[in-house]
Amino acid sequence: MTMWTAILLASIICVALKTVGYLIPAKWVEAPRPMRIADLLTVALLAALVAVQTLGAGQAVVVDARVPAVLVAAGLLMLRAPFLVVVVAAALVAALLRLWGWAA
Chain mean position to CA 52: 8
Query: Which portions of the chain are predicted below pLDDT 70?
Result: 103-104
Neighbours of 45 (CB within 10 A): 10
Question: What's the full length of the chain, in residues?
Answer: 104
Residues 67-90: tens digit of each pLDDT: 999 999 999 999 999 999 999 999
- Residues pairing with 60 in the sheet: 57
Q: Model-level pTM?
A: 0.62
Residue 86's pLDDT is 97
Residue 64's pLDDT is 87
